[in-house]
Structure 1
Amino acid sequence: MSGLEWIEHPVLSDPVALIAFEGWGDAGESASTAVAGFLDHPSATKIATIDPDEHFDFQVRRPVVSLDSTGVRSIHWPRNEVWAVETPEQDMVVVLGEEPHYRWKSFVSGLVEAFEMLGVGRAITVGAFVGQVAHTLPVPLVGSATRPDELALHDLLPSGYTGPTGILGVLNQALSQEGIDVISVWAAVPHYLSNQEYPPATEALAVKASNLTGVPLDIGDLTAASRQFLSTVDAAIEENEELAEYIEQLEQEATSLRGDEGPELVEEIERFLRGR
């Protein structure tokens, strides 16, 4: 069983799905944070959840206890939620949560069935990987798609990756097999900044997700956070000559994603995924 529990069954008009999971494949928490921004829309409504008992090892991912101002304790379990977002431009189904430990097939099967019930015909999955890229350059975006011609149309570098995969890879395959068109977008996060949130990748993924789904998103706060983050990093690097030289080397090695270095960037994501 998938553990999918419905809260309500909305009637949506040709919705597109947008999906991200925390954990594996979410470097710098870039993908999950980008997708979470779409839930700020006033119409966002939680319509289903997935029971964590079916899919998590609670000794690995322990529930968290919180205490409110009155002294009442609450237990917070790992969450995977399905949301409906209705806008004048495009209806959307958002899936946001944590990559599960167990029963991936039933987990994915439950989501596919939910999408079919809601009338989803197109899905965008979002991830982030650690690469040898410089923070001073635009965030590189790599993609795969059910229809490969869409990659060039959306300025995404194609990847022919084979090897270990995460829940997004399994979900992409399952959706494609059910006739749902999928585009998967991955952002590269500089390896020397990957142990923290990376706002530039969040901003880049949010912008691309908005373009791909047709759902407008106010990115003002993301842009401001990205600029502040980069300014802070630049100030710190000025005091570290060795790191400054290394970043300059990355800049010199980098070329346009349309240039000869494109395949090397694809190899970065492949090494990252194989090593996880």
Structure 2
Amino acid sequence: MTSSPRLVHIVDEVPELEGVENLALVVALEGFLDAGNAGALAARHLVRSGAFSSDGGGVVVATFDVDQLHDYRARRPPMTFARDHYEGYEAPRLVVRMLRDAGGTPYLLLHGPEPDIRWEAFCRGVREVVERFDVTLVVSMGSVPMAVPHTRPIAITHHANNPDLLTGTSPWRGELRVPSSAQALLEVRLGEWDHDAQGFVAHVPHYLAQLDYPRASVSLLEQVELAARITVDLSELRESADEREEEIGRYLSANDEVQDVVTALEQQYDTFARAEEEGSSLLAEDEPLPTGEEIGRQFEQFLAGLEGPEDNGGGS
């Protein structure tokens, strides 16, 4: 009888982590809980920020066996067909990297596609990593589509398996039944194993949920900086966010119908905010709005047009 292959392979020795106190593990899984690719963009920025140290994009200290976790038919990895042959297969990778922040402080980053199957085994694998490297805090990033305008501040939902980690009052009242995710289950299981975990979920305008939305990534990383006690240079990401906002502004100026929708969302947002300040439970009046998918498709067509011959580099 052959034994099943190990789900996670952890590096035996990482001298850079010896004696490190208050080590944080940042988690950003691509897939369900990643509207606007906010978490994925944030993770890529953190990897690029590894250039502050001599190890460049960071050192991989743990690797998950993706073949045991990934549904290839549901999420087919891209590859290139070059004239008469296949090449350039982009295999999915789920890894833990050791990175350093702007001040040289080491931390870990778990990033890659969210597991499609074997969530419980995945959580046990993360537990192995946490206990192997004496991680003191796990911080996750996520984003969800919401009926909010892009012209208002990014709202963040903060959650944790330890109430002492919560820094503010939740905007939600009562209980919500939501679809689960591997990332959410991980927080629950870590709490059962007496490991602290907290996370932040950015509210992304639903009409931009299918596009890269770096403004949400900036908001998430600002929260991660505070929670994990690391410092990240966000200037490059903020520039990308400003460029995307300019693209959206140009699109709205040429499309009155969509601008009307955004204006209606602004009215709803402001009415709700006033009600919250006044202690009222009244919500904004409903407006007949197109679906986020309908508006998102129009934005995608607009941004795709920026990649044409006349584009000056501000495309998607």
* Per-residue deviation, residues 63-85 of structure 1 (Å, max 9, x unmatched): 433589xx993433211001112
Which structure would you say has the larger Rg? 2
2:47 maps to 39
| Residues 208 and 200 of structure 1, relative CA distance in 2, 3 Å threshold | same
Q: Unaligned 5+ residue runs, structure 1?
A: 265-276
TM-score normalised by structure 1 residue count: 0.84
Structure 1 residue 242 and structure 2 residue 250: aligned?
A: no
Partners of 2:235 and 2:280 lie apart in 1 by: 32
Partners of 2:176 and 2:6 lie apart in 1 by: 28
1:19–1:126 Cα contact (<8 Å) kept: yes
TM-score normalised by structure 2 residue count: 0.74
Structure 1 residue 137 and structure 2 residue 152: aligned?
A: yes
1:55 maps to 69
Partners of 1:188 and 1:216 lie apart in 2 by: 23
What is the aligned-residue RMSD (CA, Å)?
2.7
User: Number of aligned pairs?
Assistant: 261
* Per-residue deviation, residues 33-61 of structure 1 (Å, max 9, x unmatched): 11222222234211111111111222222
| Offset of residue 139 of structure 1 | 0.8
| Offset of residue 8 of structure 1 | 4.7
Partners of 1:162 and 1:228 lie apart in 2 by: 36
2:94 maps to 80
Amino acid at match of 1:127: G
| Residues 163 and 229 of structure 1, relative CA distance in 2, 3 Å threshold | closer
* Per-residue deviation, residues 214-265 of structure 1 (Å, max 9, x unmatched): 111111111111111111111211222222122112212224496469998x
| Structure number with higher relative contact order (C-alpha < 8 Å, ≥ 6 residues apart) | 1
1:126–1:205 Cα contact (<8 Å) kept: yes
Partners of 1:139 and 1:261 lie apart in 2 by: 22
| Residues 20 and 31 of structure 1, relative CA distance in 2, 3 Å threshold | same
SS at structure 1 position matched to 2:250: helix
SS at structure 1 position matched to 2:167: helix
Partners of 2:42 and 2:32 lie apart in 1 by: 16
Structure 1 residue 17 and structure 2 residue 28: aligned?
A: no
Superposed counterparts of 1:1-276, under 5 Å:
3-11=7-15, 12=17, 13-14=20-21, 15-40=23-48, 41-42=50-51, 43=53, 44-66=58-80, 73-87=87-101, 88=103, 90-153=105-168, 157=171, 160-255=175-270, 256=273, 259=277
Amino acid at match of 1:145: A
Partners of 2:162 and 2:207 lie apart in 1 by: 34
Partners of 1:149 and 1:112 lie apart in 2 by: 21
